[in-house]
Amino acid sequence: MIGENARRVFQTALLLLGTLALSSCGGGEVPGTSNSLQVGGPGRLADWVGVIGTGQSLSVGAAAGTPISTTQPFNNLKLHDDGPPPQYPLDGSGDLSLIPLTERFRPPLEGWPPDGQYPNNIQGESPNAGTANEITQLWSDRMGTDYVTIHSVVGWSGHCLRDIDKSNPTTRAYPGGLSEARTFKRMAGEAKKSFAYGAVILTHGECDANNAGYEAGLHQLWLDYNQDLGEITGQTRDIPLLISQQSTIVTQSGGSAVAV
C-alpha cells in the first residue's frame, strides 16, 4: 500500500504543480496583505498555498503502514491544536498553531469523534506530506525558489460523497476544511503573508461505484468549494478539483470511474 500511495503522491504532485504553474501565468492579484502578491510570470500563486485533501480511506492513510514522512525537509505546514479535548473545533477556537507538515498528519484524539470523522480521521500516512514535498522539490528544481503549501486532511474512511460534501450538515469533513481555511487566512494576515488555495484533492470513488448521480455530485462539490473558499480568501481564480482512486469495482455502466 505504501508503494501505491507513493505512486498517487507523485502523480498528484505533478498535476498540482502544473496547476500552480498555470495559475501563476495570468494576471490578477491574490488578496492577503497590504502588499498583495501580483500573480504573473514565474511567481508563486501566494506566499502560502492551501491544499485540502479529502475523500475516503486512502485519503486518510488507511492501510498505509508506518509513516515515512516523519521530517519536513522544506517549509510546508499544517495546523496543530495543543488545547484540551475536543481539539480542532469547527468555530476555529482552540490552541492553534502552524507546525511543519509531517506524517502521521494528526495523532489519535482520545476517541473524539468516535466515528472516525475529522479531526479524528487519520489512520496512517496520508498523501499530503509527500505531495507537498514533491511539489516544493519540483518547483525549486524548475524555478530556484521556495514553494510553501499548507494542508488540511478532512476525509472520512469508507464514506460516500454525501458524507464529505456540503449537502449533509451533520458531518464534519466539509466544514472542517472551511474552518481550517478561515484559520489559515487569519494566520497569514498576522504573518503578513498572502494566502490562496491551489487545489482540492479528492481521493475517492469506490463508495459511489454505482451512484448514477456521482458526476453531478463531483461538479457540485467543486462549485461549493470554489464559492466558499473564495469567500474566505478573496481569490477569484478557479480552484481545481484533482481526483484519484477511481473505483476498482466493475459496474455495467463504468460507474464512478467513468463519472470522473
- Is a pLDDT exceeding 70 seen at residue 2? no
pLDDT at 35: 33
**Who's near 121: CB < 8 A, 6+ residues apart?**
60, 106, 153, 154, 155, 156, 157, 173
Who's near 131: CB < 8 A, 6+ residues apart? 9, 12, 13, 16, 51, 53, 149, 201
Where do we find the cell 478573496? 234
The residue assigned the cell 464514506 is: 159
| β-bridge partners, 99 | 78
Of all residues in the chain, what percent carry a pLDDT higher than 90? 73
CATH of the domain at 199: 3.40.50
Instruction: Provide φ and ψ at 236, rounded to 5°.
Output: -110, -15
- For 113-165, the pLDDT digits (tens) are 999 999 999 999 999 999 999 999 999 999 999 999 999 999 999 999 999 99
Q: Summarize pLDDT for 41-55 with one digit per residue, the tens.
A: 457 899 999 999 999
**Is the CB of residue 19 less than 8 Å from the CB of residue 240?**
yes
Residue with cell 463504468: 254
pLDDT, tens digit, for every residue of 192-238?
Answer: 999 999 999 999 989 999 999 999 999 999 999 999 999 999 999 99
In this predicted structure, the answer to whether residue 14 has a pLDDT above a threshold of 90 is: no
Into how many domains does the chain fold? 1
Asked whether residue 184 carries a pLDDT value surpassing 80, the answer given is yes
**Does a cis peptide bond (omega within 30 degrees of 0) precede residue 119?**
yes
User: What pLDDT score was predicted for residue 236?
Assistant: 92
Q: Kindly tell me the burial class for residue 29, based on how many C-beta atoms sit within 10 Å of its own C-beta (0-12, 13-18, 19 or more).
A: middle
Strand 148-153 with 77-81, pairing: parallel
When pLDDT is cut at 50, 70 and 90, the band that residue 28 belongs to is very low
Q: Which comes out higher in pLDDT, residue 45 or 31?
A: 45
What three-state secondary structure class fits 208?
Answer: helix
CA distance 42 to 40: 7
pLDDT at 17: 63
Residue 89: domain span: 2-259
Give me the helices (H) in the chain, please.
2-23, 128-143, 173-190, 214-233, 255-259
Across the chain, mean pLDDT equals: 87
Band (pLDDT 50/70/90 cuts) for residue 40 is very low
pLDDT of residue 15: 64
Displacement of CA 102 from its chain's centroid (Å)? 14
